[in-house]
Amino acid sequence: MQKEYKERMFLSQKRPFVIYLQAMRYTLYIIALLIITSDVIHAQRGGGRGDRGGFSLSNLTSSQQEIPDSLLVADSAALSKRVTAYRLTQYLGDPYIASMDTNRLNFGNSTLVEAKSLAVGYLANLGAPAQTRIFSERKEARDFSYADAFDYYITTPENAYYYDTKLPYTNIMFTQSGASTNREDQLKGVLTWNFGKKVNMGGEMDYIYSRGQYNSNGNSLLSYRLFGSYRSDKYELNAYLSNFNFVTYENGGLANDRYLTNTDEVSGTGSRQSLTPKNYPVRFLNTPAWNRVRGKQYYLTHRYNLGFTRELQEVDEEGNPIEVFVPVSSIIHTFEYMDNRRRFISEMQGIDTAYIKTPTNNRQLLNVFGLDESLNDVASAWNLKNTFALSLREGFQDWVKFGLSAFIRLEKRKFKLPAAIDGLKYDKIEGSGLYPQPSTLDFPLSETYDEFSTYVGAELSKRQGTLLTYNVRGELGLVGEDLGEFRVNGELQTRFPLFGKEASIKAKGHIRNVAPAFFHQYHHSRYFWWDPDNNSTRLKNTQQMYAGGEIYLASTGTTLSAGIESIQNYIYFGIDGYPYQHGSNLQVVSARFKQDIRYRAFGWENEAAYQLSSDQDIIPLPDISVYSNLYFHFKLAKVLTLQIGADLHYNTEYYAPYYEPATQQFQLQKEKKIGNYPLLNGYVNFHLKQARFFIMGYNLGSFFIEPNYFSLLHYPINPFVLKMGISVVFNN
């Protein structure tokens, strides 16, 4: 009864959003019906596609999600489109063309968590904590590492979109799956418009609400962003403010995996239908808990361009020579402020047997038992960055074949975490570093850590032309907490015609010496407590070196890539949930192959990756990860196209990590190998002018394959569920 009451409270707090989602769902269905009706009438009258028949904004394929070396100012073809989307490099704010979510093919497939990486491990729900299985795709840990598990859902300066529109642009998407007791909804939309040629403003929102297919694994993710830009010859500005609030109902995974793999045996009834996924016992069945991660961000980058006016040989309608402004150099300033908070809460009291930890070194805390207060672990962090740069622009004269920038970045950071738990302070045992004894002495309830760092860096780039383009960027920590930290990233690419189509060869690499994330170094909570009390227990900088290459052949739809990464002082979370550092050198070798085949109505997309870790005990990875998508694509009417097919995700067995709710980290395990299960989905996608909609059967294999569909240790993916959705674009 207590559990049911708490779950009802969790859901009732979201009731206004549920009502809003239901209203929006019916609104979108009505809009789709109106579009279908109007388009059929239009087809009967004229039979043509109409002026707005296609809303794809570029010729980019689904595999080319962005082209970082295509500068916005140099891509006149893209600027001629009704809507142009672009992103920015983080610190210097250089714009480059980015593709938009308007692909006619694979719409339903793109809404799955599995679409975010070739192989990904997560906690069943859309919006749940997730980690890619492809090592080269894993990013540096944030100082606020609690947000790392939600990286796919957080807006950053690198993935934020900006727009240039000739007409107001709106894109609304709604998806839904499951029945009322385990429904999963997502509502996502963007609205943007131009005020003249120079000013653009807009906003976007993403709301995910899921009750979950399993016991106590619902979540609610709400994020929004307001953005704007001003672009003129001499002055350019891009800015946004964003906010997110993610709530995850934690269940700790299944209490016994046999409730999924051997339901008949565990239930004792001989019938698999007698025990539903919603009734599977979970680790936190009697002690439900929630994680809430919040964040806000303010970002602004602007530049003043210095240059001259050049007279062209062309003339205007009145016969006067046309003059254009040619930027020679730029003065750049970028401001970024991030504020994050995390709270791990529960109303449980007394001993929690789900957390019994045994320390193995002097960086850990013995578990605290018998506390009479509710669980309420909190932590917060904010980061303020100011970057000042001078840039020499590429191409202002024929002989200037590259651009050169130099910058200095000032960072101020502040972290706050408990000095005590539930009104008690824990004193160290002399010489051990442990904190097992409560103290009644006077003490502060929280500890604050202030950090300051100064970086200097430079960037050398050539982005214009096709024969040879490159980009090299480096930065060095000169002063403060990150003294000695450095990053050097480089990329070299050449393009050339082959069999009448484009081919490219790309080489890329990086060298990094990176300081540990703050909350990898410090963590104070009821169940996990680590704090370096001297230099011997402090985590050291991690050194990484990567070298790789890629070959792309448009004539055959083939992409080949390979790389090798070497890591020294790798930081990981051990079986007991605490951070450790591997002192010796580790290597990860990877190779990736992508082949798309299209012949008339037939399409077959394939991608595979091979990974070899030099130490599977420290960096466990699947040897093989595969994605295959087989479909037929054809027109049902002059304005309606259909894609029907099935796709498959598969990876070999390996010791996939366990997600620990108390730290929100993915930790090592040696209990069970996860994988060797083909995730099979069947789908039908429709495209009708400015509307896309789909119906999908998710995890069809659960009907006829042995039920062993775990994504992480004790965390299975969803069983079979029917998923549907719609996306409507308005550009008028």
pLDDT over 60 (residue 115): yes
**C-alpha–C-alpha distance, residues 396 and 307, integer Å:** 9
Lowest mean pLDDT among 9-23, 123-137, 511-525, 695-709: 9-23
Average pLDDT (227-239) is: 95
| pLDDT digits 0-9 by tens, 503-553 | 999 999 999 999 999 999 999 887 888 887 655 568 999 999 999 999 999
Element at 467 (helix H, strand E): none
Lowest mean pLDDT among 26-40, 42-56, 186-200, 269-283: 42-56
Residue 338 binned pLDDT confidence (cut-offs 50, 70, 90) = very high
CA 573 to chain centroid, in Å, comes to: 21
The residue type of 701 is G
Q: What percent of the chain has pLDDT over 90?
A: 61
Residue 438 binned pLDDT confidence (cut-offs 50, 70, 90) = very low
Our separate counts of H helices and E strands in the chain read: 7, 36
Angle at CA of residue 125, ends 121 and 131, nearest 5°: 25
What is the predicted pLDDT for the residue at 602? 96
pLDDT over 90 (residue 685): yes
What is the predicted pLDDT for the residue at 68? 45
The CB density around residue 223, as the number of other CB atoms within 10 Å, is 20
**C-alpha–C-alpha distance, residues 220 and 296, integer Å:** 17
What is the predicted pLDDT for the residue at 488? 96
In terms of Cα–Cα distance, which of 512, 459, 515 is closest to 483?
A: 515
Residue 322 binned pLDDT confidence (cut-offs 50, 70, 90) = confident
Contact, 144 vs 519, CB < 8 A? yes
Element at 36 (helix H, strand E): helix 15-45
**C-alpha–C-alpha distance, residues 675 and 697, integer Å:** 21
Average pLDDT (156-173) is: 93
Bridge-based pairing of strands 721-730 and 691-698 is antiparallel
In terms of Cα–Cα distance, which of 724, 642, 636, 731 is closest to 690?
A: 731
User: Furthest-apart CA pair in the chain: how many Å?
Assistant: 91
| DSSP β-bridge partners for residue 24 | none
Average pLDDT (182-200) is: 94
HEC secondary structure over 268-297: CCCCHHHCCHHHCCECCCCCCEEEEEEEEE
In terms of Cα–Cα distance, which of 596, 629, 557, 591 is closest to 110?
A: 629
Three-class SS state of 537? helix
Average pLDDT (594-605) is: 95
Q: What percent of the chain has pLDDT over 70?
A: 79
**C-alpha–C-alpha distance, residues 144 and 378, integer Å:** 12
| DSSP β-bridge partners for residue 201 | 193, 228
Average pLDDT (430-453) is: 61
Average pLDDT (424-428) is: 48
The residue type of 196 is G
Q: Which of 357-361, 444-448, 520-524, 534-538 has the highest mean pLDDT?
A: 520-524
What is the predicted pLDDT for the residue at 39? 41
In terms of Cα–Cα distance, which of 634, 600, 633, 636 is closest to 43?
A: 636
pLDDT, averaged across the chain: 83
**C-alpha–C-alpha distance, residues 29 and 341, integer Å:** 37
Residue 422 binned pLDDT confidence (cut-offs 50, 70, 90) = low
Q: Which residues contact 237 (CB under 8 A, 6 or more apart)?
A: 228, 229, 230, 231, 300, 301, 302
Q: Which of 21-35, 245-259, 605-619 has the highest mean pLDDT?
A: 605-619
Bridge-based pairing of strands 679-688 and 715-716 is unpaired
Counted residue by residue, the chain has a size of: 732
User: b/e map of 422-432 (b: 16 or more CB within 10 Å)?
Assistant: eeebbeeeeee
What is the predicted pLDDT for the residue at 518? 95
Q: Which residue has the tokens 């049902």?
A: 636
DSSP for 635-689 reads ESSSSEEEEEEEEEEEE--B---EEETTTTEEE---S--B----EEEEEEEEEET
Instruction: Give backbone dihedrals phi and psi of 429, rounded to 5 degrees, phi first.
Output: -80, 130
Average pLDDT (550-565) is: 95
Three-class SS state of 259? helix
**C-alpha–C-alpha distance, residues 652 and 115, integer Å:** 18
Lowest mean pLDDT among 345-349, 547-551, 628-632, 714-718: 345-349
Contact, 263 vs 275, CB < 8 A? yes
pLDDT over 60 (residue 407): yes
HEC secondary structure over 564-597: EEEEEEEEEECCCCCEEEEEEEEEEEEEEEEEEE
Average pLDDT (387-400) is: 87
Task: Give me Rg for the CA atoms of the chain.
Answer: 27
Average pLDDT (138-165) is: 95
Tokens of 231: 């672009």
* Distances 32 to 35, 185, 385, 560, 686 between C-alpha atoms, Å: 5, 18, 45, 40, 11
The CB density around residue 687, as the number of other CB atoms within 10 Å, is 24
The residue type of 603 is G
Q: Is the model more confident about 81 or about 137? A: 137
Angle at CA of residue 563, ends 592 and 585, nearest 5°: 130
Tokens of 428: 């160290």
Secondary structure E strands in 139-234: 162-165, 169-177, 184-195, 199-210, 219-231
Contact, 114 vs 120, CB < 8 A? yes
The CB density around residue 578, as the number of other CB atoms within 10 Å, is 22
Average pLDDT (467-477) is: 93
**C-alpha–C-alpha distance, residues 103 and 106, integer Å:** 7
**C-alpha–C-alpha distance, residues 224 and 23, integer Å:** 19
The CB density around residue 543, as the number of other CB atoms within 10 Å, is 16
How many CA atoms lie within 13 Å of 651's alpha carbon, on the beta-carbon side?
A: 28
Q: Which residue has the tokens 């209490």?
A: 255
Residue 294 binned pLDDT confidence (cut-offs 50, 70, 90) = very high
Angle, nearest 10°, between helix axes 2-12 and 15-45?
50
What is the predicted pLDDT for the residue at 317? 72
**C-alpha–C-alpha distance, residues 194 and 229, integer Å:** 9
Average pLDDT (16-25) is: 50
